[in-house]
Structure 1
């Protein structure tokens, strides 16, 4: 089967035009095609596959010169070449992100100033147009001169700063806005809001579960230490630590321990129906939870899945979002025990004012 250049671009899609294909011919990215008796270019299925690969690599941010090297690499060297190009592309993206994060931090440092600082702040707002240049040159110190002198006169007004820094959340419920605000304050990164995902009516499900005194299950002791034991005790919600080894204090240790000790896997499969699960360390715990949900071995009321990791954690979070169970997660590699505990605490706090006592200590 042969295709005209228009049929080729239509089959590939992604806004590819015949003009772009002709440009790829000139660069050597696409081989010169056969010609019809009328001198029209004719393309094969192999040409379709090659163009699709060019488009995919370009969408990942590769330069055309890099794409040419990848396409021309010998099959046995192709994977090594691809990995080298991916590492180069990753370093470039990280450098851009670092520059943007530095600029964003400087803007946050200005826009997040509360009212006692605004008089001094007004004097430097005219310099904002130079902020990107100043950031690249590392000359931000003069921007802070005079500003930081004001911070010793009063405590920081977190809510006032958040109102300026958070994106428009007017379409979110009050509980969700409070949850997102607390997560931002827990990590100091406003961009986190873009990655937080709530699904399957998790806010309503959490209120029902906690009001009924559901069991709260966390993956490690560190998460347990960060959750609001006072409110949970008053709601009648007992807390269970899945990996209850006090010597486990990192994500790597929790991951390794869960794989080594089948008792904890067995304990996971015996969790009571309607429990609330909060995972902040080991991605394999969340993967096991999702598998148990899929096999209908456990039926939690909600899952807060925020483990740390670079391959398993993103995959586990995707499985959680597809599980059908009410969930809260943070897409990608972002996460941690503090964020998981903060999310759980925000849900519980929406139900009950903090009691002025420590009665949970005797339980």
Structure 2
């Protein structure tokens, strides 16, 4: 292939990533890609420089950047003052994106308020939908009528408990290609945070379910980052399975991500303790990003060999990076991409796996042992 003279088809083949000639022409219209020279037959001709430029666009787009953001990033010069200006522009655009998310979240909440209703609410729901078509909201009277409609629908909550499974059936995307255990795990994570959009961010290695079941059945050790995570575990089932729980940063005063992160950095003993994790254990990280980073490093250096890592720390820079490191590990894992996480989500993931192995006992006599 002559990289000095590529047709548009050869350009897209060289870049890959799902890029099509139509997308390239669109990037020309937006100014993301410079207009190429033309052959005598009026074909667009591209150079290696165009290949590199398009690869950068694809890479940034895959990371979640919008095209207008990408254009500003690619055009900025490396001088400090220009970079500062770019950061201010990106911050302004971030705020605009967050406002759009907030508006979409309000729309989603309204739809969930209708779609999430169980069978007991169907009659009232039908009445509300019928009246919404006729509702005039231009006046204060109309707005009051809307509030009355929701109040009528909400009145049904006093007549029966919420049917979570029925609501999820209407709201969750199609998960039929996933195993039954995986579907249950994802459903429990959604219930733990109340956000259906979480589904697209949950990542499991293909062997995560099988590895967890094998380890739990073998009475593996459960290692959590701080006591808050340990408190959220289903200790009833874990005791019956014979799986002891060990807290890495075992200071009862440490209850937040900030405290966990600082403690791990300031006290070498926690890092040394991490190096001594039992082979075949299940590690559950719900708060400190640096703990997950250190675990990934120790796995790479073959210092530890857990059966499964549930990595869901909280944070805005280190946490997403730590999760990306986890995705590259050769061991089974479960994580939630991005900044979202927390001890409740991490514990919920393990609890869902444990639940698939053992019915919850009615007897709590083990507490007195």
Indicate the TM-score class for this superposition, using the shorter chain for normalisation: 0.7 to 0.9
The RMSD of aligned alpha carbons is 3.5
Instruction: Give, in angstroms, the shift of residue 170 of structure 1.
Output: 1.7
Match of 2:129 in 1: 125
Please give the alpha-carbon distance, in whole angstroms, between the structure 2 residues aligned to 1:255 and 1:281: 8
Kindly state the Cα deviation for residue 241 of structure 1 after the two structures are TM-superposed: 0.5
Could you give the per-residue CA deviations for residues 66-117 of structure 1, whole angstroms, max 9, x where no partner exists?
9479737683433112212221221222122111111111111111111221
Partner secondary structure for residue 147 of structure 1: helix
C-alpha distance in 2, partners of 1:241/1:293?
19
**TM-score (norm. length: structure 1):** 0.84
Does structure 2 conserve the Cα–Cα contact (< 8 Å) formed by 1:58 and 1:67? no
Pair 1:252-2:249 in alignment = no
Q: What is the number of equivalent residue pairs in this alignment?
A: 354
Matched, 1:355 2:357: no
CA distance in 2, matches of 1:121, 1:61: 38
Q: Distance in 1 between matches of 2:130 and 2:167?
A: 20
**How far did 1:34 drift?**
8.6
Q: 1:188 aligns with which of 189, 194, 213?
A: 194
Q: Structure 2 residue aligned with 1:216, among 215, 222, 245?
A: 222
Going from structure 1 to structure 2, the CA distance change for 1:128 and 1:111 (only over 3 Å counts) comes to farther
1:300 aligned to which of 289, 306, 318: 306
Counterpart-to-counterpart distance in 1, 2:117 and 2:170: 9
Q: Is the 8 A contact 1:73 1:81 kept in 2?
A: no
Counterparts of 2:357 and 2:227 in 1: how far apart (Å)? 24
SS at match of 1:277: strand
Name the CA shift for 1:93/1:214 in 2 (closer, same or farther; >3 Å).
same
Distance (whole Å) between structure 1 residues aligned to residue 116 and residue 99 of structure 2: 25
Per-residue deviation at 1:312?
1.1
Could you say which residue in structure 2 is the equivalent of 1:198? 204
Following TM superposition, by how much is the alpha carbon of 1:230 offset from its aligned partner in structure 2, in angstroms?
Answer: 1.2
Alpha-carbon distance, 1:265 to partner: 0.7
Specify the SS of the correspondent of 1:217: strand
How many angstroms does 1:15 deviate by?
A: 3.9
* Correspondence 1:235 to 2:237: no
Q: Given the two structures, how large is their TM-score scaled by the length of structure 2?
A: 0.83
Residue 121 (structure 1) shift: 0.3
Contact 1:306-1:340 at 8 Å conserved across structures: yes
Bigger drift between 316-325 and 39-48 goes to 39-48
Q: Return 5+ residue gaps in structure 1 as ranges.
A: none
Q: Aligned to 2:91, which of 64, 87, 95?
A: 87
Q: CA deviation at 1:342?
A: 0.8
1:273 maps to 279
Change (3 A) 1:288 1:47: closer
Matches within 5 A, 1:329-344: 329-344=335-350
CA shift digits 1:30-59 (9 cap, x unpaired): 5x9899999999887667666776777788
Which secondary structure does the structure 2 equivalent of 1:356 belong to?
Answer: coil
- In the alignment, is the contact (CA less than 8 A) between 2:229 and 2:286 conserved in 1? yes
1:225 aligns with 2:253: no
1:309-320 → structure 2 map (5 Å cutoff): 309-320=315-326
- Partners of 2:165 and 2:27 in 1: how far apart? 53
Q: Shift of residue 270 of structure 1?
A: 0.4
Q: Residue 361 and residue 96 in structure 1: after superposition, are their counterparts in 2 closer, same or farther (change >3 A)?
A: same
CA distance in 2, matches of 1:67, 1:75: 17
Aligned match of 2:288 in 271, 279, 282?
282
Q: Deviations over 1:160-204 (max 9, x none)?
A: 111111111222222112111111111111111111111141111
